């Protein structure tokens, strides 16, 4: 989408007067300089408008990215840090119950069960890989 200022720009007839001979008068050079000066001012205004529009869009994009970063599904919690998962796996290996581990780390027994299932799957996969070699 073009801005109105861009659409209103008129192409400049950039042919300058000759250096000598017919049409090389001082008035011809002044007229050409005035046309170039006006065109430069119009382009500078257009550039300023475009810079402002780009800055607004950049600000909006940054705002939307921050909203997406902060967005979470309703009722969801942030994922457990890897250190907590490692500690839960350590307690599972030492025979503690899922309910007691859940209470200790502030998670549900079902979360501990999921961690246990992933841990057992990883261990079974490593045993299978070791048997293949």
What pLDDT, in 10s, does the model give residues 96-108? 999 999 999 999 9
Domain count, the chain: 2
Domain end call among 50, 70, 90: 70
pLDDT band (50, 70, 90) for residue 12: low
CA distance 66 to 59: 11
For residue 29, give every residue at least 6 positions away whose Cβ sits within 8 Å of its Cβ, in sequence order, or none: 16, 17
Chosen domain end from 20, 45, 70: 70
Closest by Cα among 120, 122, 124 to 92: 120
Contacting residues for 113 by C-beta, under 8 A, at least 6 apart: 98
Question: Rounded distance, CA 92 to CA 28, Å?
Answer: 92
Asked whether residue 113 carries a pLDDT value surpassing 70, the answer given is: yes
Last residue of a domain, one of 49, 70, 91: 70
Which residue segment(s) compose the domain that 102 sits in?
82-132
Query: Rounded to two decimals, what is the model's pTM?
Result: 0.42
Q: Looking only at Cα atoms, what is the longest distance across the chain?
A: 103
**According to the model, what pLDDT value does residue 57 have?**
95
């Amino acid at each position: 989408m073009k801005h109105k200022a861009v659409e209103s720009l008129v192409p400049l007839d950039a042919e300058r007067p000759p250096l000598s001979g017919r049409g090389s008068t001082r008035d011809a050079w002044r007229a050409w300089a005035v046309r170039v000066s006006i065109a430069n001012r119009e382009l500078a205004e257009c550039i300023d408008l475009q810079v402002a529009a780009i800055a607004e869009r950049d600000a909006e994009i940054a705002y939307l990215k921050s909203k997406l970063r902060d967005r979470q599904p309703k009722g969801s919690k942030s994922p457990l840090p890897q250190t907590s998962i490692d500690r839960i796996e350590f307690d599972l290996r030492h025979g503690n119950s899922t309910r007691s581990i859940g209470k200790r780390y502030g998670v549900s027994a079902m979360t501990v069960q999921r961690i246990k299932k992933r841990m057992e799957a990883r261990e079974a996969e490593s045993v299978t890989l070791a048997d293949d070699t």
